Structure 1
């Protein structure tokens, strides 16, 4: 059995490298690719049903983002994020996102905020349906689209990079236990506060949400030993061939 459960994500030749990179990021976050493990481009390419070249190119992109590191003659090792790293990433995100949410609440057009409600609903739906990949994609789309309303492209780019670096591990087990649903529902609460014009309330909600995400990461790490013994997945990921 291969590394990845979502091999059908790769459907066209257009921007194949970007599609592979996106699928690999999702696999890193969901825990299908494990921190500290080494994966070969040919092995992953077999899972995707494509040649090794776009996979190798995608892994090099991830290496530039700090998500993996090359291992000579073997492949790429998934980098580990320690508690100190995550605390610092979360602190930076809070310094950026909390006041920005207040600014957007005071300045954004109501229709622009309302346009994000279907995405917030999708986050909750995906969490309840145990669609982890859909959950992660909708969450990313919601947060970056919301921040984009401030009009600062570099801010959105910076937060996007921080989100990649502070990826969550162990979400599969938490998802199976419905522990992602409260975090998912916070997106609707945030949107309602912003639509009501409650900038301070929205800032507090955003700060709480980032803290919730941080606690989920810690809980996911606590579940890692059980997952590595085979709990929840029923399989052990392969490394290089």
Structure 2
């Protein structure tokens, strides 16, 4: 028997993927009943899943009408990227302290190997212009890398910002004729720099990542 909490997470995950892929575009309206019928489940876990997505900033609650996919503006996107910059820079600065890098990566080779696998897959997807595959690996890559050198509260915040940035940018990226040229693919070189404890290279790659994200806004 599938637990209600599991159904709640499954429905939330499926809807988040639909929003990220652009199949539920900004401004789309739907009710709990419509989603429950679509997925063949009861209303309660659906309602809880939609409330969870609303708490993540992906849905707006409309009184007596149900839910609507949130519409992010260009100013929202710029602000999210800049907030991400501040937090990520602080995270990496904390790892590369004045005494040198915190020796946490060397202690967890299995996690580092997982991050590297995500990086390799993300780079391949970026070069191929496969946006759907890239988003999934990109989110997992940054989540795992941030968890290795940060704490879960920061990771949760960064994950939420990254999802929101993707939600805003996906519709525009899909209109690009040469999408692959617009996608950041520095995942592998970044994890290489972090692994060899190269603070200067890490900062340079991160600066390029931030500039790339802001350039998309233009």
Q: Fold match, TM over 0.5?
A: yes
Aligned pair partner of 2:72 in 52, 71, 81? 81
Quote the residue 2:123 is aligned against.
Answer: 124
214 and 18 in structure 1: CA distance in 2 versus 1, 3 angstrom threshold: farther
1:19 positional shift? 1.5
Residues 1-241 of structure 1: pairs in structure 2 closer than 5 A: 13-14=2-3, 15-104=6-95, 106-107=101-102, 108-110=104-106, 111=109, 112-127=111-126, 132-169=131-168, 171=170, 174=173, 177=177, 179-180=179-180, 183-216=183-216, 218=217
- Indicate how the Cα distance of structure 1 residues 211 and 42 shifts in structure 2: closer, same or farther if over 3 A, else same: farther
How far did residue 91 of structure 1 move? 1.3
Which deviations, in whole Å up to 9, do the C-alpha atoms of 1:49-90 show, x marking residues without a partner?
A: 433432222111111222211223322111111122222221
Deviation at 1:129, TM superposition (A): 5.8
- Structure 1 residue 161 displacement after superposition: 2.7
How far off is 1:30 after superposition? 1.9
Q: Provide closer, same or farther for how the CA distance between residues 209 and 129 of structure 1 changes in structure 2, counting only shifts above 3 A.
A: same
Q: 1:181 to 1:58 in 2, by over 3 A?
A: farther
Q: Deviations over 1:142-165 (max 9, x none)?
A: 111111122422221221232244
Number of matched residues? 207
Between 1 and 2, higher relative CO (CA 8 Å, sep ≥ 6) is seen in: 1
After TM superposition, the score normalised by the length of structure 1 is: 0.72
Aligned to 1:225: none
Distance 1:133 1:35 in 2: 17
Distance 1:16 1:161 in 2: 21
Asked whether the equivalents of residues 102 and 202 of structure 1 are also in contact (C-alpha less than 8 Å), the reply is no
TM-score, normalisation: structure 2: 0.79
Q: Indicate conservation of the 8 Å contact 1:35/1:80, yes or no.
A: yes
Query: 1:232 corresponds to which residue?
Result: none
Counterpart Cα distance in 1 of 2:53 and 2:191: 32
Aligned-partner SS, 1:202: helix
Aligned to 1:7: none
SS of the equivalent of 1:13 reads coil
Q: Distance in 2 between the 1:47 and 1:128 partners?
A: 34
Unaligned 5+ runs, structure 2: none
Partners of 1:89 and 1:166 within 8 A in 2: yes
What is the CA RMSD across the aligned residues, in angstroms? 2.8
